[in-house]
Amino acid sequence: MKSRLIIVNSMQWDVSAQIIDSYCDTLVQAVSQIDTWLGVPGCLEGSVKKSGGIRIVSSPWIWQKLGFHHVEYNTIFLDPRNLAMDTVVHEFAHIFDNLLGSHILAAIFGGGPSDDMIRYLGIEPDQFFPRFHSPGYERSFQENHIELNPTVYGRTYGPAEDFAETFKLAVLDPERLFLAAPRRYKWIQNWKNEHFFNPDSLTLTGRKSADND
């Protein structure tokens, strides 16, 4: 119950009653991990306030039948039957893809940081639609002799999933990302500095310290 109150009262996000307390614990732990990586306390919750915060709800039955979590703009739809921290971090990456893109559903239609990352690597993302599931994605990297995402999921499905898996590894397993995909590691470090430490960026920079309140 404590984690649910943190999400609702401190972060001011909406969380469905269908999301059980243990999943709220996982959500709070994931936010803490992301904030640690960003290096600014409260950065994640602060950076999404301009969008009206985040909604966390139970997936519709069809998505539960498929066994998928997914994101639409600033709403995370969770399969209530299972939830791991790495999954939560992955889904938050889709939130950033949408909020920092030119389309509110950039993780589907493109225009977000996932497109920017793929262009940096040397691949044109507009050939892939939808961005989260595009046949031939891995082959395009192989044919152009460009490094692959270290995870099977990240290198198989499309730019949005590549970005989300890169983000997940940057937060939870940066050494693996650095060793296996150094260009992705370099890009996401630069992306972090641009969007979370630049006062002119689209996002905020976290909570003010108590001395400045």
**Domain limits of the chain?**
2-204
pLDDT tens digit sequence for 69-105: 899 989 999 987 788 999 999 999 999 999 988 999 9
Strand order in the sheet with 14-15: 14-15, 55-58, 75-78, 70-72
Output the pLDDT for position 68: 79
Output the pLDDT for position 207: 31
Q: How far apart, in whole angstroms, are the C-alpha atoms of residue 89 and residue 84?
A: 9
Beta strands in 27-78 (DSSP E): 55-58, 70-72, 75-78
Cβ-proximal residues to 103 (8 Å cutoff; 6+ apart), any chain? 109, 110, 111, 112
8 Å CB contact between 33 and 89:
yes
pLDDT tens digit sequence for 95-122: 999 998 899 999 999 999 999 999 999 9
pLDDT tens digit sequence for 15-24: 999 899 999 9
Phi, psi of 120 (to 5 degrees): -60, -35
pLDDT tens digit sequence for 149-172: 999 999 999 999 999 999 999 999
CATH architecture of 2-204: 3-Layer(aba) Sandwich (3.40)
- Reading the block at residue 153, the tokens are 């999921």
